[in-house]
Amino acid sequence: MSEATQALYLAVELVISMDAGLVEIVLLSLQVSLLAVAVACAIGLPLGALLGIARFRGRRLLISINNALMGLPPVVVGLAVYLMLSRSGPFGVFGLLYTPTAMIIAQTLLVLPIVAALSRQTIEDLNAEYDEYLRSLDMRLAGRLKTLLWDGRASLATAAIAGLGRAIAEVGAVIIVGGNIDHVTRVMTTAIALETSKGDLALALALGLVLVTIALALNAAVEILRAGAERKLHAGA
Amino acid sequence: MKLLVALICILPLVATGAAAQDRFIILQSTTSTANSGLLDYLAPKFKDKTGIDLRVVAVGTGQALKNARNGDGDVLLVHAKQREEKFVADGFGTKRHDVMYNDFVIVGPDDDPADIAGVYDITVALKKISAAKSPFVSRGDESGTHITERGLWKLAGIDAAADSGTWYRETGSGMGATLNIATGMRAYTLTDRATWIAFANKPDFRIMVEGDKRLFNQYGIILVNQQRHPHVKAAEGQAFIDWLISPEGQLAISAYKRDGQQLFFPNAN
């Protein structure tokens, strides 16, 4: 049997048998990445929206920086967070290194620029479209932000999903700050890296297939929600 | 939005989930002890005995030493004796104990382009590899294996690093990744025997050189110094060290086998 078919076979077997080790790893992956995306959205959506509609000096520069940060290598973020959370670092006293919390922090930093940049673009376009209407209502900045964020929610969900894709797929940051500790900080990607380094390529590939399937399911779920929301929006209009 | 709020509410739960289970130590160790499955085998035995969870961070010896220096670990289990002794001398560790040993081997492709199969003297084998300019993959990552390998080239009187990028290739990766690369480019490499035996991806590859006493691979264990890093769990860490060098721990090490072969040989005094 070739490695690829063996991997496919193994992946199906792992999923069907609901392998306890696999379930634990998948749940931790989802927990870490979903929380990271949630925190990144809580900060990034308003920040991106503000950047989209406010006019101030240095705005273009901030947007450029934001866009550039989307390409931040995970390993650099991992290293920076390690230095912060290490016992010798400024936040060492909290003892967060090698915990899921450290992984959430690292992934939040990775996802934040993506959510902010994509929501900035969405809100900027929407603001141009709604400008006259919002002006007629004499809306203040806060009200404007709220309206735009709410009406743009379908597109903003895409920003969140893009962020989730980055979070759940990265290995460079979580392996440094999490340490890939069995039953504590081992997630899908670090497990794949480990199996690869053990030379068990079929198992590594099988885990990869499970990861892709989960990503697909998450995207499908968001797409369905979005389609529902859009239908409601049109029905209301 | 409600989902978002709900998710944010769980965040503290995740954070405390890890902290609630307080009886654990962090062991900074090498990829060879982890990838060979030894630590996965020892951890439950140690837990049964003491109730302490063993959390293993498996990196190269160089990085493990660095992490421990920063205080990011309670116990250090690595294989580069001189650096371990320096770690203790610099005040970062309390005392170094021998734990176990195995040996390094040179592995290579079956067709053996440098004709080193069965050569006993490691320096002769290395001279033949460099004379034939046969591809040789080095860890290149300051790991214990890399430090040993550099020492062996020096013994052979060859400045292999000067040819880096030609026949001598530095991966800067762990042992497993380096073995994957070696089998991929049909190159020789130096590996510890435990990782090699436990390694699954070795088509048409075998051990070429073994047995020279200079290929000896000693592992040592050190408790990180609590005076330097006050948060170190000295009692729990010492409990692990005491157990590992006790007759019970030593027996457990020798009982661990892969494919019927013993991977590590206990030698604590």
Reported confidence tier of residue B16, pLDDT bands at 50, 70, 90: very low
Residues on chain B bordering chain A, Cβ-to-Cβ distance under 8 angstroms: 4, 7-8, 10-11, 14-15, 17-19, 26, 31, 35, 40, 55-58, 67, 69-72, 174-177, 179-180, 198-202, 229, 231
* Cβ-Cβ contacts under 8 Å, A199 against chain B: 176, 179-180, 199-202
Amino acid at B190: L
Contact B127, B156 (CB under 8 A): yes
Taking the domain B103-215, which CATH number applies? 3.40.190.10
Q: What pLDDT was estimated at residue A166?
A: 93
Residue B218 in 3-state DSSP?
A: strand
Chain A nearest C-alpha distance from B221 (Å): 19
Residue A183 half-sphere exposure, CB side, CA atoms within 13 Å?
A: 10
* Cβ-Cβ contacts under 8 Å, A201 against chain B: 180, 200-201
Chain-chain contact of B14 with A104 (C-beta, under 8 angstroms): yes
Domain map (residue ranges) of chain B: 20-101+218-266, 103-215
Quote the CA–CA distance of B238 and A202 in Å, as a whole number: 39
Least confident of A94-98, A134-138, A164-168: A134-138
Q: Which whole number is the average pLDDT over B143-158?
A: 95
Chain-chain contact of A197 with B19 (C-beta, under 8 angstroms): no
Chain-chain contact of A87 with B35 (C-beta, under 8 angstroms): no
Reported confidence tier of residue B10, pLDDT bands at 50, 70, 90: low
CATH superfamily of B20-101+218-266: Periplasmic binding protein-like II (3.40.190.10)
Phi, psi (degrees; rounded to nearest 5) at A70: -60, -25
Chain-chain contact of B199 with A198 (C-beta, under 8 angstroms): yes
What's chain A's average pLDDT? Answer: 90
* B20-101+218-266 and B103-215 have identical folds: yes
Give CA angle at B118 (B117, B120), nearest 5°: 125
Integer Rg of chain B from CA? 21
SS3 readout for B143-169: CHHHHHHHHHHHHCCCCHHHHECCCEE
CA distances from A53 to A62, A103, A130, B20 (A): 13, 32, 11, 45
How many helices (H) and strands (E) would you count in chain B?
11, 12
Q: Which whole number is the average pLDDT over A210-224?
A: 87
Q: What percent of chain B has pLDDT over 90?
A: 83
pTM of the shown model: 0.88
Give the total number of structural domains in chain A: 1
Give exposure, A1-37, as e/b (b: 16+ Cβ within 10 Å): eeeeeebbebbeebbeeeeeebeebbebbbbbbbbbb
CA-based nearest residue in chain B for residue A42: B4
Residue A200 in 3-state DSSP?
A: coil
Phi, psi (degrees; rounded to nearest 5) at B137: -100, 125
Q: What percent of chain B has pLDDT over 70?
A: 92
Chain-chain contact of B35 with A194 (C-beta, under 8 angstroms): yes
Q: Which whole number is the average pLDDT over B251-265?
A: 94
Q: Which of B217, B249, B265 is nearest to B78 (CA)?
A: B217
Identify which of A98, A100, A180 has the shortest CB distance to residue B14: A100
How far does Cα B170 stand from its chain's mean position?
Answer: 18
* Cβ-Cβ contacts under 8 Å, B17 against chain A: 100
Pair type for strands B93-109 and B188-192: antiparallel
Quote the CA–CA distance of B70 and B59 in Å, as a whole number: 15
Whichever domain contains A155, its CATH number is: 1.10.3720.10
Residue A75 has pLDDT above 80, yes or no: yes
Residue B144 has pLDDT above 50, yes or no: yes
Residue range of the domain that includes A77: 3-236
* Cβ-Cβ contacts under 8 Å, B32 against chain A: none
CA distances from A117 to A31, A73, B188 (A): 24, 17, 47
Contact B175, B35 (CB under 8 A): yes
Contact B174, B36 (CB under 8 A): no
Residue B193 half-sphere exposure, CB side, CA atoms within 13 Å?
A: 22
Quote the CA–CA distance of A26 and A24 in Å, as a whole number: 6
CA-based nearest residue in chain A for residue B22: A95
Residue B243 corresponds to which tokens in the numbers above? Answer: 């157990």
Chain A nearest C-alpha distance from B4 (Å): 6
Chain A nearest C-alpha distance from B45 (Å): 16
CA-based nearest residue in chain A for residue B180: A199
Residue B219 has pLDDT above 80, yes or no: yes
- Count the neighbouring beta carbons within 10 Å of the beta carbon of residue B158: 18
Cβ of residue A92 closer than 8 Å to a chain B Cβ: yes
Residue A9 corresponds to which tokens in the numbers above? Answer: 């076979």
CA distances from A24 to A185, B24, B51 (A): 10, 19, 22
Quote the CA–CA distance of A163 and A113 in Å, as a whole number: 9
Tell me: ipTM over 0.95. no
- Count the neighbouring beta carbons within 10 Å of the beta carbon of residue B123: 17
Quote the CA–CA distance of B15 and A185 in Å, as a whole number: 12
Identify which of B11, B67, B180 has the shortest CB distance to residue A196: B180
Chain B nearest C-alpha distance from A57 (Å): 32
Q: What pLDDT was estimated at residue A33?
A: 96
Identify which of A39, A86, A99 has the shortest CB distance to residue B18: A99
